[in-house]
Chains A and B, each alone.
Chain A
């Protein structure tokens, strides 16, 4: 890689790493919320629960 490409990589990856971490954590939070809501939902009378 030339100097410009090295600089581009060095600048891009910290930003991309933060975005990846935020997206990963956000999607886990969403999943945790959905799973908790499913557990706390009253059993369906049709399902005979």
Chain B
């Protein structure tokens, strides 16, 4: 039961983070002065 609740809560957060990661590597840079290190295996 607890596992199902966690899955329901965490899955959208994970999907959003993966979506942001997928689009985040396309522009030249981000609009602030911090550039996170891109994922090693994605590029």
Physical interaction between A and B:
no
